[in-house]
Each structure stands twice: as C-alpha cells, then as structure tokens.
Amino acid sequence: MIKKLILVVGAAFLTSCASLNIGSGDSDELSGVGRIPGYDFGTAITLPEGFEIELPEVAGGLIGPKVSGNRLLMIGDSIMASTSSRYGNEMCDALVPLGWQVAIEAEASRFAEFGVRVLDQRLNAEAGWDAAVVFLGTNYEGNKDSYAKQMRKIVSKLAPRPVLLVTTSLFRNSQREVNAAINVIAGESENVSVLDWETISKEKSVLNADGVHLSPKGRSVFAVAVARALDIAPFREGECLESKFRDDSAAAEDVMPEPVDSVVEPTPESAP
C-alpha cells in the first residue's frame, strides 16, 4: 500500500529547518510506522515548499525497530555522495536528528564491487556498525549475474546486520535487471529491506534532466525517503561521521553539486 506524505515548509524549528507534516494535522503518527512517542519526525527535515510525494511501503520492514544500536554505514555512488557533508549534507541533516550516527561512503561512477571494497576496509578496521544502506546499481555493466554476485557479497559481509537496499531509477531498460536482482536478494535474506527508489524517482522534479542524478529538490526527497525507511534509531545521540571514501573525480561535468567544504581529491583508499 502506498502512503501519502505531504511535505510542507512550516514554522522554524532547530536552526531554521522546515517542518514535515505527515498526512493532515499535527499528529505524530507516521504513515506505515505508528506513533512515535514524544518525537516530531519532521522537525529537522528541510524540504522544498509545497513538495508532495507518495512514498511506497518499505519491503522487508523499517530498519530502526530491528537494531539495538545507532551506527549506520551508507554505501553508494554519485547519487548518495551528492547528499553527503562535502556537498549539501541533506542525508545527515535528515538522519542525525533521528539518532543515527552516519558514515557516508559514496563516490561517483562506482560499480557494485565498490561496496565490497568499502566493507573490506571499514568492517575490518573497526567494529560497531549496527545497520547499513546500500545504493549501488546505477553504474551497471549489463551483466546481471556479476552484479548479483557482488551484491550478495555485500549482504553476506554485513549479515546479520539489517540492510536497506535501494533500487535505481529506470533511466534505461537494463536497470530493470538491477532492480529485479535487488528484490531477489532481499527475498533471500530476512535482514534485508528494500527502498523503492524506482517508484519515488518517477515524481516530477526529483531527478535532473538526465533521469539519473538528483535535482536540488531531489536530494532532499532522497534523504527523507531514506529517513522514513530507517525510522528512529534506538539511541538519540546522532552524529555525522567522517567519510573515508571521498573521490568524485570520475564524475561527468556538472553531475555533482558544488563542494562546500573543500575540493574533493582522490585518496589512497579510494583511488580506482
């Protein structure tokens, strides 16, 4: 069932952020989730004025109720990277107020095997990750078996942690193979949920003209969609953590937003 979320700019809360009204009225009832005692889900989520979108149900269930900790590892390509702290910081702005400690490991033009490389470094070097979000598949070489193999490696390395896999927009026919593989893999593992970005990305003004990358409004929509799929974390001490993978040098011209903190340069860990 599709639940409608109406996202409206309201009175200023938390450093002039806009409010998120869910449904009608001022209820703290979240569609598909239930009552969140003492918490306004939308107080720190900034969205374009009057933006309205329908968010599909999260297949496999929300992540927050499945975890006992709040450390979240996010892995992706240019789409996720564009919401990181080195650009507009939309993702942390949405997730930190929900109590998540967020590390965004995402770089432009990365294929599925990038996720394995990130996990080999970040899982082996440190402990304590409680959940993960993986958005890899926009860069797809057309070999569905190879893609599925890499994604299964990622899910296996993360198990038994809850994992949110994100489908891609249908900017070309071969993306149907990517999304089909994601749904099959999710069906194989009880710890995997799916965010249906394929459906959300069809909304007007979410994507740039290329049908792939996020518009300025779309970056906020993507962050809200992820936040809704994650739900609140078990602990309320959220934080935007340092990223180790920050190399967007492979991005095509005008694909990424303007960096806000520094020029993004290749690092030894992330160089192709």
Domains of the chain: 58-240 (3.40.50.1110)
pLDDT digits (tens, 9 = 90+) for 60-104: 999 999 999 999 999 999 999 999 999 999 999 999 999 999 999
Task: Give me the residue label for tokens 């590390």.
Answer: 103
Q: What is the mean pLDDT of residues 23-36?
A: 35
Out of 18-27, 70-79, 248-257, give the one with best mean pLDDT: 70-79
How far apart are alpha carbons 260 and 256 in whole angstroms?
A: 12
Q: Taking a C-beta distance cutoff of 8 angstroms, is the pair 79, 213 a contact?
A: yes
pTM over 0.95: no
Give 143's contacts (C-beta < 8 A, 6+ positions apart).
none
What does the block give as tokens for 55? 């968010």
How far apart are alpha carbons 223 and 225 in whole angstroms?
A: 5
Element (H, E) at 261: none
- CA distances, 124 to each of 116, 127, 264 (Å): 11, 7, 25
